[in-house]
Amino acid sequence: MQFECYVVWAMVREILEYPDPRLREPGKPVAEVTDEIRTIDCAADDEPSDLRVFINPEILEKDGQVVWNEGCLSFPGVTEEIKRAERIKVRALDRDGKPFELEADGLLAVAIQHETDHLNGVLMIDKLNALKKRMMGRKLAKARAEAGSA
């Protein structure tokens, strides 16, 4: 199964593509949940929203292992099989700044791990062995070339 996660920051920002060095910079914790941060739902007014907000997420527990064919906006046009924990427990703040804990499995657990990695400056390519990293680099170059010719 494939997924693409979209991290919505406190403000809409440009999508950084690999190998932009800013992707390696850990995010700074949110000190205070403000009205500006609460306006992070980018669904149109006439669209239903299933926005899940995890401010300052911390993965408390990991269990099991699963392999997902992940995609990422920082690696446009490329997917790769990534090993992740099958089940997690995460603690975070909601959009009102209230703490909560959540146990997740399946796609939600994978998505939370993927996005938490981004916040820590870790990319999906970092989860691959040397051979798969080279192959992913070739796939990315090919996808960029095809996008440029379209």
pTM of the predicted protein model: 0.86
Provide the number of structural domains found in the chain. 1
Q: Domain containing 105 — which CATH number?
A: 3.90.45.10
Q: What is the pLDDT of residue 46?
A: 80
Residues 70 and 80 sit within 8 Å (Cβ to Cβ):
yes
Instruction: Find the domain containing 21 and state its range.
Output: 2-149
**What one-character-per-residue DSSP string does 7-23 give?**
---SS--PPP-TT-GGG
Q: Give every residue of the chain whose pLDDT is below 70, as ranges.
A: 1-12, 41-43, 150
Sheet holding 66-72, edge to edge: 2-5, 66-72, 79-84
Catalytic residue among 14, 61, 115, 146: 115
Encode pLDDT of 71-114 as tens digits: 999 999 999 999 999 999 999 999 999 999 999 999 999 999 99
- Please, are residues 79 and 70 in contact by the beta-carbon 8 Å criterion? yes
Q: Is the preceding omega at residue 19 within 30 degrees of 0, hence cis?
A: yes
**Cα torsion 71, 74, 75, 76: sign:** positive
Query: 44-82: b or e for each residue (b if 16 or more CB lie within 10 Å)?
Result: eeeeeeeeebbbbbebeeeeeebebebbbebbeebbbeb
Contact status, residue 5 vs residue 82, Cβ threshold 8 Å: no
State residue 140's pLDDT score. Answer: 95
Q: Is 113 helix (H, G, I), strand (E, B) or coil?
A: helix
Q: Please indicate whether residue 115 is annotated as part of the active site.
A: yes
